A and B are shown apart, each in its own frame.
Chain A
Amino acid sequence: MAGTSTADTKVHPSEAEGVAREPLVLNDRPMSWITDRICGIVENRQPFIWWALFVPAAMLFGLLMGTLVYLVSTGVGVWGNNQPVAWGWAIVNFVFWIGIGHAGTLISAILFLTRQKWRTSVNRAAEAMTLIAVMCAGIYPGFHVGRFWMVWFLAPVPNANAIWQNFKSPLLWDVFAVSTYFLISVIFWYIGLIPDLATLRDRATKKIPKFLYGFFSLGWRSGNRQWRHYEMAYLLLAALSTPLVLSVHSVVSFDFATSVVPGWHTTIFPPYFVAGAIFGGFAMVLTLMLPVRKLYGLEDLFTHKHIDNMSKIILLTGTIVGYAYIMELFISFYGANKFETDAFHLRILSGPYTWAYYCMFFCNVIAPQIFWFQWARHNLWVVFIVANFVNFGMWFERFVIIPTTLARDFLPGQWGYYSPSITEKLMFAGTFGMFFMLFLLFIRFLPVIAMSEVKGVLPQNDPHFPDWKKLREKRRQAES
């Protein structure tokens, strides 16, 4: 009886004449289906393929630990970086992993502020990916300082030497930016998880899961008197994370841009790094989510519309990155600075790493252009392959920036060639193991899609348009 008074005349905006959109959840799935499907991933036994991926990933993680023990017990000399290339794979991989994380925050924060409702199916997994990627990233500068047990010197606490950190240095800005980014991402992720942990708590039958989910859901009762503050907290975190995510990769780029090294000393670095980070991060989200979607039957929640949107973002940011590559070259030519021109000449024409430049250019700029075509965005194999090209290309971008520039110092007497040692290679493989291992554990123990948020975007759950479904069917019949 309630709520029918105005509904006959009102049409839900997403169904308005001429702009009817694809639904976010296909097949008119009810809320209980969403709960069952997503909690089922956690509650049921994992498929064989989960184990088939987890065991090698865990072994690679073990390899990482072994490599780090070897590194610490021997010394950082086991890495291949030396003068003139003091920043080898360690910093390449650090920037690579940090960049991966950015897509998670973009999805959870920026798309929240811009009211992109499709984000709800992707944000949980993307945020988890962010946290794991930042953990992987943190390993590299931690060990790159040389004496890992002295890492606490980076924190501004009084020490016996009475020397304080140099707050004028971009490297210290980086410490603050990355650690803030990690902590805020943890808070954002955890606050988002509380209602879903409560769902798992209410469904749990065994004692230990019930205790653990109950403990971490903090006794959430999903009352509106809680929701209203919760929603405000979420909005505030989104509003804070948006400038934060833009600042983090800007600060990472300051590590390069505030130096006086030709090839690094450019003002385009902050926006170029941020666009590249989002670009690489979305590629990694797709790389992870396409198999997850298939494996756990999430096609109705993570639809072609999501993949299409993410492919478009990859196309957009990839094109921005391509613009930045070309603009860098143009400015070095137009700036007529001898050292800048030489740096870029060595990068693209005659240097020892020109192969890396073209590899990067193809993967990042040419490959994503296929997303101009709708058939490419709708073919999952094409999307998956292009996403992996981008993963590969974004790693090469950081490789091009760091060793290419450092290998050719001002004087030819200081020239060198850097290639990574076996320890660095094993360590990089190890961080991939850590990344996949933690992501698989996340799938195993936590809801991979934010249930409470997806339920909120279901059309039948909008209190203002109660007859939405009936109206839609009526119109569909009239149209046909």
Chain B
Amino acid sequence: MSASSDNSKSLFGYVAEFSTASDLYHAAEKVHEAGFRRWDVHTPYPVHGMDHAMGLGKSWLSAGVLVGGTTGFLFALFLQFFTQVSLYPTVVQGKPTNLFTMPAFFPVTFELTILFSGFTILFGLLAIIALPRWNHPLFNSKLFEKATDDGFLMVIEARDPKFKKEKTLDFLEEIGAGKIEEVAH
């Protein structure tokens, strides 16, 4: 690491292109086996099974959404019971103003549960994937523009502890990369 530290300051990493989804999938398995940590594959669509190839587990966004949904559920119950039963009870439509008003509260409770979950999904997703981030070294790469069109790209970052300027380049060629581009910071 120390030998290449001067270079890795300006070098962000390598962008390597593969020709098919299948090649990229198998290359990802090899990069994962080799023990890299700071790397990713960039594809125009989510490749089926790629999480497994990269050794990634299930996304934990769902756990956050459970919390958000529960908050919505409890908030809706609080809102309705507090305003209808304790703060300003009104007897309309022959409906009681006590615990037995519950059935009339179901629709709004349901909707607010969904609403809170939906917002948790949006903001939770953005927080987990660290977006918005409009500026990123990868956007300096010409090859990287293919990631949103038809490219199957792999990026290994220079800050990965296993990254060696020459060796990693050879490794990428060995696992079947076609075009390889250096990306500067």
Q: Spell out A's residues near B (CB within 8 Å).
A: 1-3, 7, 30-32, 35, 156, 162-170, 172-173, 176-177, 180, 183-184, 187-188, 190-191, 195, 198-199, 201-203, 214-215, 218-233, 236-237, 240, 243-244, 247, 251, 254, 451-453, 455-456, 460-466
- Check if B149 sits within 8 Å of A31, measured CB to CB: yes
> Which of B51, B108, B128: most chain A Cβ within 10 A?
B108
Is B131 engaged at the interface, CB distance under 8 Å to the other chain?
Answer: yes
By a CB distance below 8 angstroms, the chain A residues around B148 are 35, 195, 198-199, 201-202, 220, 222
Minimum CB distance partner of B56 in chain A: A228
Contact A461 B45 (CB under 8 A): yes
Asked if A225 meets B125 with Cβ closer than 8 Å, knowing A455-B44, A463-B48, the reply is no
**Residues in A whose Cβ lies below 8 Å from that of B111:** 173, 176-177, 180, 244, 247, 251
Interface centre among B28, B45, B51, B105 (most CB of A within 10 A): B45
Supplied contacts A219-B132, A240-B114, 11 more A-B pairs, CB within 8 Å: A170-B107, A202-B147, A222-B148, A229-B61, A232-B61, A243-B110, A244-B111, A452-B45, A463-B22, A465-B22, A466-B20
Contact A225 B107 (CB under 8 A): no
In the complex, A87→B173 CA distance in Å? 71
Contact of A224 with B54 in the complex, beta carbons under 8 Å: yes
A169 to B107 CA separation, bound complex (whole angstroms): 10
Can you pick out 8 interface pairs between chain A and chain B where the beta carbons lie within 8 Å of each other? A164-B83, A167-B80, A176-B112, A201-B148, A247-B107, A452-B45, A462-B48, A464-B25
Does B3 interact with chain A (Cβ within 8 Å)?
A: no
Whether B155 contacts A224 by the Cβ 8 Å rule is: no
Contact A225 B40, CB 8 Å, known A462-B48, A463-B22:
yes
Cα–Cα distance between A35 and B151 once the two chains are bound (Å) = 12
Using Cβ atoms and an 8 Å threshold, which residues of chain B touch A164? 83-84, 87-88
Q: Which residues does chain B contribute within 8 Å of A227, judged by CB atoms?
A: 43, 46-47, 50
- From the candidates B20, B62, B115, B136, name the one contacting A180 in the complex (CB within 8 A): B115
Which residues of chain A have C-beta atoms less than 8 A from B21's C-beta?
460-463, 466
Q: Give the distance in Å from the alpha carbon of A269 to the alpha carbon of B19 in the complex.
A: 55
Residues of B within 8 A of A220 (CB): 131, 148
Question: In the complex, are the beta carbons of A451 and B44 less than 8 A apart?
Answer: yes
Which of chain A's residues has its CB closest to B57's CB?
A228
Q: Which residues of A contact B133 (CB under 8 A)?
A: 218-219
